[in-house]
Structure 1
């Protein structure tokens, strides 16, 4: 199950391994489409990948620090460091291939 993170918990949740954080808002249509995709990927790729969600309406500090201007946006963290950003909705297979490559590159 994906975890919900906040401005105060994000950094502690991304410290170990690979974590994909989705920046979203409840009113965002593409975010709603992406949610089930990420849930499935979490089940398929755990424990090698952790997936987290941050609501930008409720947690503006991190979103502003990272310059999140459009959503959905995903940031891939490895051992606490933001590595790459993915903008917009992506199909499950595209994200799965991307994450598997990151696991293998680790």
Structure 2
């Protein structure tokens, strides 16, 4: 699967960019986007949880990651000031936002509310 053609069936996080972001959040699925950066310790700490959610919600939701350093336009558009920031989109609109490292169960509950 190419990063430009994400699907809800993916069991690994989809890599988002400024170029494919809009197409992904408007695909009709619930989409959880992890805004992160390589230098961010808390972002690395939740990475295994993001991977687990991608497997658990495969077919029900898209779990995606967007590197804020490589894709500043999208991060600025959503006023991302602290990372990790996790935004849940439905029909292209933000329906929930969580900032900071959260335990897997908390992230699971956030996504389950919308998937």
TM-score category, normalised to shorter length: over 0.9
Unpaired runs of at least 5, structure 2: 1-11
Tell me which residue corresponds to 1:82. 94
- Whichever structure has more helix as a proportion of its residues is 1
1:9 to 17, 20, 41: 20
TM-score by length of 1: 0.92
Give me the whole-angstrom Cα distance separating, in 1, the residues matched to 2:88 and 2:57. 14
**Deviation above 3 Å: which 4+ runs of structure 1?**
none
Equivalent residues, number: 103
Give me the whole-angstrom Cα distance separating, in 2, the residues matched to 1:91 and 1:51. 16
Give me the whole-angstrom Cα distance separating, in 2, the residues matched to 1:24 and 1:4. 11
TM-score by length of 2: 0.85
